[in-house]
Amino acid sequence: MSSLITKVRLKQIEALLEKGKRLDDRSLTDYREIQIEQGVIEKAEGSARVLLGKTQVLVGVKVETGEPFPDTPNDGVMTVNAELVPLASPNFEPGPPDENSIELARVVDRGIRESHAIDTEKLCIEPGKKVFVVFVDIYVLNHDGNLIDASAIAAVAALMNTKMPNYEIKDGELKIKQGYSQLPMKVHPVTVTMGKIANKLLVDPWIEEESVMDSRITFASNADGNICAIQKGGSSYFTPQQILDASKIALEKAAELRKKFNW
């Protein structure tokens, strides 16, 4: 976006913020409308599509067998990947993943990993040799801001929707049986992202706000109201007080979302 437009927009946004308002008529702590649709990809073990305002994210989950990491021989493996599809935004280019898509995948990954969302011990087939590997693939279909929350919600919704093949071990060989069972999950983490513009915290920044915001902070939390992962992003700073304020807002919003989704 050209810097002149950005400056004009920033002034407009700042003037509105003074009155506690935003460009799209939300209050500072309002989310845009969220829609979750599960099981949208037939060929995947699990999938979900999330609409957060006009931001649209599709997540597919694939379950395969593979080797565990040497330091966690009894645990299944989860990997998160994100792809910013060029049709989602004029700023997304085809080619190898750039830092934005890597950051997106990392933040979503940590929310799920650190909250121990997946019961990885139940994914172990043969300790140290064979475990289930869960691939979470994020596809951003339309970018209208706050990809992190949209992707994190979609990833958890897709995992909740994931079916694993039934199996048995016969003479040391893995045999896939008929039928499926639910992917074992312990926690459904909820991720809340805030942006900072003119020293004010805004929940769920959309693209116009993202283009002018100073910095961003993301909190993932579990159903007990504990914080599981935090990531600060952007080049500017937060004061310690703003961080504590942000953590309170994040936990409140997470509880609200949890209620809404029935998680």
Partner 1 sequence: MVVDLFDAEDKLGAADVPVAYMPNLNAVTLLQMDGILAPDEFEKAVNMAMEGCKQIYTMQKEALKTKYMVVKEVEE
Judged by CB under 8 A, does residue 35 bind partner 1?
no
Sign of CA dihedral 45, 185, 31, 235: negative
Structure token pair of residue 33:
């409308």
Q: Identify the residue among 227, 255, 256, 258 touching partner 1 (CB under 8 A).
A: 227
The smaller minimum CB distance to partner 1, of residues 50 and 201, is found at 201
What does each C-alpha distance from 186 to 21, 67, 164, 263 come to in angstroms?
Answer: 38, 22, 16, 11
- When asked if residue 247 is in the footprint of partner 1 (CB under 8 A), the reply is yes
Which range touches partner 1 (CB under 8 A), out of 54-62, 110-118, 163-171, 200-208?
110-118
Considering only residues 113 through 132, tell me which ones interact with partner 1, judged by CB under 8 A: 114-115
- 11 is a contact residue toward partner 1 (CB under 8 A): no
Q: Decide if residue 232 touches partner 1 (CB under 8 A).
A: yes
Q: Work out whether 200 is an interface residue with partner 1 (CB under 8 A).
A: no
Q: Which two tokens stand for residue 86?
A: 């060029």
Distances (CA, A) of 244 to 15, 56, 207, 250: 25, 30, 25, 10
Minimum CB distance to partner 1 smaller for 16 or for 251: 251
Cβ nearer to partner 1, comparing 115 with 146: 115
Taking CB under 8 A as the criterion, the residue among 230, 249, 254, 257 binding partner 1 is 230
Shortest distance in whole angstroms from residue 252 CB to partner 1: 11
In whole angstroms, give the CA distance from residue 84 to residue 69.
28
Residue choice 243, 256, 258, 263 for contact with partner 1 (CB under 8 A): 243
74 binds partner 1 (CB under 8 A): no
Query: 49 vs 216, which CB is nearer to partner 1?
Result: 216
Is 102 among the residues that bind partner 1 (CB under 8 A)? Answer: no
Please identify, among the stretches 28-36, 61-69, 150-158, 219-227, the one whose residues bind partner 1 according to the rule CB under 8 A.
219-227
Contacts of 257 (CB under 8 A, 6+ apart): 31, 34, 153, 190, 192, 263
Using only C-alpha atoms, the chain has a radius of gyration, in whole angstroms, of: 20
* Contacts with 218 (C-beta within 8 Å, 6 or more apart), sequence order: 107, 111, 148, 149, 191, 192, 193, 194, 229, 230, 231, 232, 233
Residue 254: both structure tokens together: 């997470």
Verify binding: residue 240, partner 1, rule CB under 8 A: yes
Residues that bind partner 1 (CB under 8 A): 110, 114-115, 217, 222, 225-232, 237-240, 243-244, 247-248, 251
